[in-house]
Structure formats: C-alpha cells, structure tokens
Amino acid sequence: MGDVLERIRSCLVDLNRECVLENVEKALNEGYSATKIILGPMSDAMKEIGRLYEEGEYFIAELIEAADIFKDVMKKLDKLLYEEASKKKTSLKRLKIVIGTVKGDVHDIGKTLVSVMLQAAGHEVIDLGVDVDADKFINALREYKADILAMSALLTSTARYMRVVIEKLKEVGLRDKVFVLIGGAATTEEYAKEIGADGWAKDAIEAVNIVNEIAKRR
C-alpha cells in the first residue's frame, strides 16, 4: 500500500478525523481513485476497528465515531465515486434492484456504497434502508416489479434472516421471478449457496459486475 493510503488507514484506526481527511485529499492529488481509497484503506481500517472492538480495546462509542468519519469521507468523495462507477454504465438493460440491510441489523455503510455504485452504473435502485423485514422486501419487489433483491448483513445473527426472506419469496411465488444477491461481512459465497441465493458479492465493485452480467442476459 502506498504511504498515503497507509496513513489513511492508520489515521482512521486512531479515529483522527482531521488526519484522515487531510490524507484523503493528498491521495486524490497523488492520483488514487475514490473507489481505491474507500475499498482499500478505509475499509481495511473498519475491519481493524472491528477487531479492536472484539478484543475489548474499543467500545461502541469508537465504532460510532469510526462510522461517522467514514460517512464524512463518503460525502467528500460522493461525486467522484459516482463518476468512477458511471464508467461501468452500459447500454445494457437497466435493471430494477430492491436493496436493504436485513431485519435486526443497522449497519448501512457497505449497503449504501453498493446502492450508490449500482445507481451510478445506470440501474434503478430502491433502497429500503436498514432493519428491513421480509414483508417490506416483498412489498417493494411487487410494487416496483424489481428484477433483483439485494440483501446486506454484517451480523452473523442477522445473516440467518436472509434464509427466512428466501423462504418467504417461495411462499408468495416470487422466488423464480427475482435474482437474489447477498453480501456483507457476515456472508460468504458458501453461505449464499447454502441458503439458496443466486449470487454473492464480496464488495460493491463485484456487486455491479454481477448485476451487469445479469443485464447482459436479459
């Protein structure tokens, strides 16, 4: 990792907002893309902060502060992120995607990132926010006649709820009509297969690639 990227990572781990913002500016001047900054050092720092929380060195207050700094940087890079993801815009069919973080889970940073990048890539995104239950997902899928259901989960406990949503989709006769994409730190490709999802993305870029692939086939 370049020096400036490493500084972004360590400043965020130290929860030093000014230092993060200053180095993000420097990284942009050095030619790093907004996507690289967000998916690289910023995301790595959040994982490290999670580890420090697990080890009892950080508490909820630190997680909240880290999320706030992350959102500040997202605000700063918003336009650039959008422009960079727009390069993935294709003349393919524009798909409708219903997205949300599942019931019981309020982590929204990764989900929002995915949502922004899918929109920038030219798709229509209906973002239901966080703590979304099966009925809310189903109502939105019906109302917007969506092609894709995209669910995010950061907690092991809430990732289990994705299976509940998929079962409900079967009950109401929607399972064969939508592509189910899942993601978030509590999920894996194996887990996606296990619960009968159609796809899993490790990050926002992969999510856009998967959705564009589906668009190609329509």
* Extended beta strands in the chain, E state: 96-101, 124-127, 148-152, 179-183, 199-201
Which segment (26-34, 47-55, 77-85, 166-174) binds ligand B1M by CB under 6 A?
A: 47-55
Rounded least distance, CB 120 to ligand B1M, Å = 13
Rounded least distance, CB 118 to ligand B1M, Å = 9
55 lines the binding site for ligand B1M (CB under 6 A): no
Nearer to ligand B1M by C-beta: 61 or 91? 61
Show the CA angle centred on residue 99, arms to residues 96 and 103, nearest 5°: 150
122 lines the binding site for ligand B1M (CB under 6 A): no
Options 77, 98, 150, 165; binder of ligand B1M; rule CB under 6 A: 150
Please, what is the end-to-end C-alpha distance for the chain in angstroms? 39
The three-state secondary structure class of 126 is strand
Residue 38: partners with Cβ closer than 8 Å, 6 or more residues away? 73, 74, 77, 81, 113
Rounded least distance, CB 208 to ligand B1M, Å = 9
Torsion angle defined by CA atoms of residues 162, 186, 110 and 214, in that order, rounded to the nearest 10 degrees: -50
Q: Which residues share a beta bridge with 183?
A: 152, 201
Options 4, 13, 40, 108; binder of ligand B1M; rule CB under 6 A: 108
Options 11, 66, 121, 215; binder of ligand B1M; rule CB under 6 A: 66
Selection from 197, 156, 160, 206 nearest residue 179 by Cα: 197
109 lines the binding site for ligand B1M (CB under 6 A): yes
Options 23, 35, 43, 212; binder of ligand B1M; rule CB under 6 A: 43
53 lines the binding site for ligand B1M (CB under 6 A): yes
Sign of the torsion angle spanned by Cα atoms 151, 153, 159, 164: negative
Rounded least distance, CB 106 to ligand B1M, Å = 4
Number of DSSP helices (H) and strands (E) in the chain, helices first? 10, 5
Residue ranges that bind ligand B1M, judged by CB under 6 A: 39, 43, 46-47, 49-51, 53-54, 60, 63-64, 66-67, 104-111, 113-114, 150-152, 154-156, 181-186, 201, 203-204, 207
